[in-house]
């Protein structure tokens, strides 16, 4: 049986009731908090920054998984460590010296993740796969929640799983964007270890139940 984890994306939470939504995740079967940081440059949207992350980490009792959609992320690695990020994921497309960035993240005591856009081939990660704790496969174009899932993601996850096995790497695979109860089982079968879900969780009427079901489907 697989053990696929669920990471609700706080981007889709109700910011007027942020503490309530964080407590909902704390008390649910969710495994991680997924935190999307956007700078309006790397992606055409600005989400939230340090003060909001600080408020989240104050109440969150689960792994803090930070997804940076920003240019030149090296500038903020120390700050994210200080604010309590457990996993810090940078975009492949935003890093000129990816290997150096990964070492800098680990030097701050965090797990190092690399996110790839839908157009970026997983094969580009071969030479650094043993240095990556987590690969985040974007299944929508980054920038917004609530978009539809790109079907080519299944193939990418399968190929990535192969690369990881061929290199005896311990890298885990996270899929982010448009995840629902319709694609969770297939994603998990393709090799996804963590599923991020924003709108599907927070727009639901019964959020804890939705998380529970999604986890059940992913691990069926
Ligand atoms: C998109 C973000 C995602 C987003 C997922 O740029 O990286 O984490 O919050 O939201 P849904 O699940 O609504 O596609
Ligand atoms: Zn994300």
Q: What residues make up the domain containing 153? A: 5-218
Burial (CB count <10 Å: 0-12, 13-18, 19+), residue 38: buried
Q: Which residues have CB under 8 Å from 153's CB, separation 6+? A: 118, 137, 139, 175, 187
Q: Residue 197 CA: which ligand 1 atom is closest?
A: 12
> What is the 8-class DSSP label of residue 30?
-
* Banded pLDDT at 120 (limits 50, 70, 90): very high
Write down the number of H helices and E strands in the chain: 8, 8
User: Nearest 10 degrees: CA dihedral of 89, 94, 100, 106?
Assistant: -10
**What are the tens digits of pLDDT across the range 79-99?**
999 999 999 999 999 999 999
- The angle, 0 to 180 degrees and rounded to 10, between the axes of the packed helices 18-26 and 207-218 is 40
Residue 1 has a pLDDT of: 61
User: Using H for helix, E for strand and C for coil, what is the string for 82-146?
Assistant: HCCCCEEEEEHHHCCCHHHHHHHHHHCCCEEEEEECCCCCHHHHHHHHHHCCEEEEECCCCCCCC
Q: How many structural domains compose the chain?
A: 1
Residue 97 has a pLDDT of: 98
Instruction: Tell me which residues are annotated as active site.
Output: 36, 176
Q: Which residues are annotated as a binding site for a divalent metal cation?
A: 34, 36, 67, 176
Instruction: Report the alpha-carbon distance of residue 10 to residue 202 in Å, rounded.
Output: 8
**What are the tens digits of pLDDT across the range 157-204?**
999 999 999 999 999 999 999 999 999 999 999 999 999 999 999 999
Residue 62 has a pLDDT of: 98
> Which residue has the CA at smallest separation from atom 9 of ligand 1?
145
What ipTM score was computed for the predicted complex, to two decimals?
0.99
For the chain, percent of residues with pLDDT exceeding 70: 100
Q: Domain of 50: which CATH number? A: 3.20.20.70
């Amino acid at each position: 049986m697989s053990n696929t984890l669920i990471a609700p994306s706080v981007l889709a939470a109700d910011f007027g009731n942020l503490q309530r939504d964080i407590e909902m995740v704390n008390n649910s079967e969710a495994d991680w908090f997924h935190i999307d940081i956007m700078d309006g440059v790397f992606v055409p949207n600005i989400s939230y920054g340090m003060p909001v992350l600080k408020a989240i980490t104050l109440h969150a009792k689960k792994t803090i998984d930070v997804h940076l959609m920003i240019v030149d992320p090296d500038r903020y690695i120390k700050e994210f460590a200080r604010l309590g990020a457990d996993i810090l994921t940078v975009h492949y497309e935003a890093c000129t010296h990816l290997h150096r960035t990964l070492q800098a993240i680990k030097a701050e005591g965090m797990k190092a993740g690399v996110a790839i856009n839908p157009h970026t081939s997983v094969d580009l990660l071969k030479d650094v796969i043993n240095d990556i704790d987590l690969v985040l496969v974007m299944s929508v174009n980054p920038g917004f929640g609530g978009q539809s899932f790109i079907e080519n993601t299944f193939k990418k996850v399968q190929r990535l799983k192969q690369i990881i096995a061929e290199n005896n790497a311990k890298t885990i695979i996270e899929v982010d964007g448009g995840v629902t109860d319709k694609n969770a089982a297939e994603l998990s079968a393709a090799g996804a270890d963590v599923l991020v879900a924003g709108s599907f969780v927070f727009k639901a009427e019964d959020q804890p139940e939705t998380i529970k079901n999604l986890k059940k489907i992913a691990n069926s």
